[in-house]
Chain A
């Protein structure tokens, strides 16, 4: 009985939930929260994307394929981003944004805001 149950438990556990936050070089942020199998593919080398992925289940991303829990932060960069800075403290964001505005090729990844769903 236990042997028959195990594959089903595995199947239910792996088809679970995932949250993906993708930020483009223009500052546009897109957050997706979905159930099921997650597949993230980078489209083209000419654009820059920064992604944050949290998932429990089956996930296929540029960092590889995983079944179980995964937590990923990655940046796929085009010519518009030559320096990427992940800001961990919200109070540093203004200063870093000023630097990014003054220089070309600087991309800033803002910390996840708690009020964003």
Chain B
């Protein structure tokens, strides 16, 4: 009788566990669980079981697709004053809100008409981005905005504006839109780009590929993981490199730079980097967006260090 009761209680749970998996579509999420957590699929990178507390932040971005027997990178094109960019891996996401961050130094310049009281207060941004998630050209635009803010560049109307490219040339998304069903020839479920952060307290078992075997934890376990596909397999078995291509329009259509691995992530902010007042806490970015963001960081770090050196001298 005791065993029958246990089996009856376990059966619904097992049935549900079989149904719960994250398909490889564009997905971004956070979860906090107390109790029993079971997860399979791309978001867990294997089977994941937890008894106790667990929080997870995940982003799953399909980077390539198979359509009518051909492999495509799910890419975006953008055109700005620096040239054209083709990018398959642009993602820019922030899991944790930093609240109202101070504006950049260029915005805090006080005018002569301001009183001493208002001048003493740091300027605040009208709108600060909390939790957000962007891909493709949107990610690039967002990173460009941060870059300009940190490097105090002035905004021009034409630069990298999606409205100027009314129809971004996302090659595969059109096919995916017209063929959304599972029975069709489109299969977007190729190995996606996955970014996962987990904190677990209690008993945690993971059979992830990335950990090279099963892991068993009693107590606390924190994991930060990014899996980024860098090659795409064609139906004939050949591998093609994925990534970003930069064109300056002067080299007969040949790309002037190739970039397959631009990734820029910050798992946790410490007090030193927070001193830059950059307004980003826990974030990750890839592709052209990562490149643009690092250009902004480069300008900001350079300005901060120059200021430090001048005060020492």
**Contact residues of A with B, CB < 8 Å?**
3, 7, 10-11, 37, 39, 41-42, 44-46, 58, 60-79, 82-88, 92, 95-96, 102-106
Contacts and interface: CB of A to CB of B under 8 A. Distances in A.
Contacts of B33: 66, 68-71
Interface of B is mostly: mixed
Interface of B: 2, 5-6, 9, 12-13, 16-17, 19-23, 25-40, 43-44, 48, 56, 58, 97, 126-139, 142, 162-163, 170, 173, 176-177, 180-181, 188
Contacts of B56: 63-64
B13 A58 contact: yes
A66 B25 contact: no
Given A45-B180, A104-B162, A7 B30 contact: no
A84 B134 contact: yes
For the complex of A and B, list the 7 residue pairs with the smallest distance between their C-beta atoms, beginning with the closest: A68-B35, A74-B29, A64-B39, A46-B180, A83-B138, A45-B25, A65-B20
Given A64-B56, A70-B33, A79-B176, 19 more contacts: A7-B5, A7-B9, A10-B9, A39-B16, A46-B177, A46-B180, A62-B43, A64-B39, A66-B36, A68-B37, A69-B33, A69-B34, A73-B30, A82-B136, A83-B139, A86-B97, A86-B130, A87-B130, A103-B162
A47 to B, nearest CB: 8
Contacts, number: 167
Contacts of B176: 45-46, 79
A58 B138 CA distance: 36
Given A62-B29, A63-B43, A76-B25, A82 B134 contact: yes
B6 A7 contact: yes
A74 B36 contact: no
Contacts of A45: 23, 25-26, 176, 180, 188
Contacts of A63: 22, 29, 31, 39, 43, 56, 58
A72 B30 contact: yes
Residue in A66, A70, A103 with the greatest tally of chain B CB atoms within 10 Å? A66
A79 B188 CA distance: 13
Contact of A67 (B35, B44, B130): B35
Contacts of B127: 92, 95-96
